[in-house]
Amino acid sequence: MSIYDIQVKNIQGETQALNDYRGKVLLLVNVASKCGLTPQYAELEALYKAEASNGLEILGFPCNQFLGQEPGNEDEIQQFCSLTYDVTFPLFAKLEVNGSGRHPLYQRLIAAQPEAVAGGALKEKLGDKNLLPENDSDIMWNFEKFLIGKDGTVLARFAPDLKVTDAVVADAISAALKS
């Protein structure tokens, strides 16, 4: 099964195939509105505005599995993102990224990239508070990122505390856009 065969629900609740993004570089991010990492929305939006015309799509997937940091419904999420960060990149309906209810999209992403490029001190902080997921391949926290190439290949996975402005992420996105 290709990543393009997977269907998701957009923020309006309509079913959408990822095939709509075939031929583009994708950055998929599990997002949350009440997280210490939420300000990353601003950098994601800036990157989207700068690179969308070059073939980059950023897809935001709200998730409430990390300390209930995305408690709102889809309308509330969309309103928050629009009013607070002027988000124009596509947002989708809430989904689960870990556990028995893990969405097929995240099953595929994690199978393709079971380990994230390490970030800063977030993993240690979560470990100190016993908040790390059970499995090392599970999504660690909100704002973990997956980079998908134009051909649908999962190229990279980045820890939540790596920002799109960090060299390792920015360089990988730039290389994917050039390929």
Token duo for residue 139: 């999504």
Q: What is the DSSP string of 6-26?
A: -EEEBTTS-EEEGGGGTTSEE
Q: What is the DSSP letter of 92?
A: B
Bridge partners (DSSP) listed for residue 147: 27, 156
Of the residues 28, 35, 37, 59, which is catalytic? 35
**Which residues, including other chains, have CB under 8 Å from residue 18's CB and lie 6 or more apart?**
3, 4, 5, 6, 7, 8, 26, 105
Do strands 145-148 and 154-158 pair parallel, antiparallel, or not at all (unpaired)?
antiparallel
Do strands 25-31 and 56-62 pair parallel, antiparallel, or not at all (unpaired)?
parallel
**Would residue 35 show up in a list of annotated catalytic residues for this protein?**
yes
Question: What is the gyration radius of the CA atoms in the chain, in angstroms?
Answer: 15
Q: Which residues are catalytic?
A: 35
